[in-house]
Amino acid sequence: MYAELQMELETKEINYRQSSNLQGVIMENISPEYAARLHGNQLNPYSQCITRENNSTIWTIKTLNEEAYENIIMPLSECTDIFLRKKGLSISVCNKRMHLKNDNELITEFYEKKCPKYLEIKFQTPTAFKSDGKYVIYPDLGLIYASLMRKYSAVSEAFDMFDEETLEALVEQSEIVRYRLQTVPFPLEKVQITGFTGSICIHIRGPETMARYLRMLFKFGEFAGVGIKTGMGMGAMKYVRRNEDD
């Protein structure tokens, strides 16, 4: 089960730059035992981010399995305010929205729903990758696909999505045909990581099955995030359907 909790915060003082502090708010509102387990995970079963929507500040927390939903989203859904210790700032929560999605829905859609061969992705918060010990601050398709495949495999009990041959075929049979991007700094405690935000349009030259597979990964990525530091607010993404070849 995938879950999303959106909390409208009564403030205009914070934005994505305070996202890493909000990870601290999560840890303060969950059990110490579960927090310790999260610190031992290579891949987190949650992501979170701060966005601005219709002149409102929205904090979104998303989880990738039922255990994370029960241990993270359920306690946070009871909050009427949050406290940012490093800023000494108490913020009221003025509205909440919850969205649940059965993970089997993505598999069903893969088999039953047609897919265009132009897929648009929006990167809502600064996104970056790490490869060969270095940060990559542009949208490399191989790194995007590999990140989502690994995250999917880490939370799926039924599917191991990461396969080198499949990854190679996806990269060879797709290309970025349009983009609107900018680099944006993302501050952490002692360092600043450069990432990118904006959108890309990907054309899949291979069979429609390949497009369906990528659509499934991208819709999963709406909950998991893509790239590094998604638990701290980086890598929030959104899939946007294209209509060029409908």
Rounded to an integer, what distance in angstroms lies between the CA atom of residue 174 and that of residue 199? 16
Residue 158 has pLDDT above 80, yes or no: no
The string of pLDDT tens digits covering residues 7-33 is 999 988 889 998 888 999 999 999 999
Residue 170 has pLDDT above 90, yes or no: yes
The string of pLDDT tens digits covering residues 118-146 is 999 999 999 999 999 999 999 999 999 99
Phi, psi at 29, each rounded to 5°: -105, 5
Rounded to an integer, what distance in angstroms lies between the CA atom of residue 181 and that of residue 76? 33
In the chain, the DSSP E strands lie at 2-9, 46-53, 56-63, 81-84, 89-101, 118-127, 129-131, 134-136, 174-187, 192-204, 237-241
- Matching CATH topology for 2-101 and 112-241? yes
The string of pLDDT tens digits covering residues 34-86 is 999 888 777 889 999 999 988 899 999 999 999 999 999 999 999 999 998 88
Tokens linked to 94: 């003025």
Predicted local confidence at residue 44, as pLDDT: 87
Residue 157 has pLDDT above 80, yes or no: no
pTM: 0.93
Residue 244 has pLDDT above 70, yes or no: no
Does residue 243 or residue 172 have the better pLDDT? 172
Strand partners, 182: 197
Asked if CATH classification 3.30.70.1900 holds for the domain at 112-241, the reply, yes or no, is yes
- Per-residue pLDDT band at 246 (split at 50, 70, 90): very low
Q: What is the CATH number of domain 2-101?
A: 3.30.70.1890
Q: Where are the domains of the chain?
A: 2-101, 112-241
SS3 219: helix
The string of pLDDT tens digits covering residues 216-233 is 999 999 999 999 999 999
Rounded to an integer, what distance in angstroms lies between the CA atom of residue 159 and that of residue 153? 6
The string of pLDDT tens digits covering residues 188-227 is 877 899 999 999 999 999 999 999 999 999 999 999 999 9
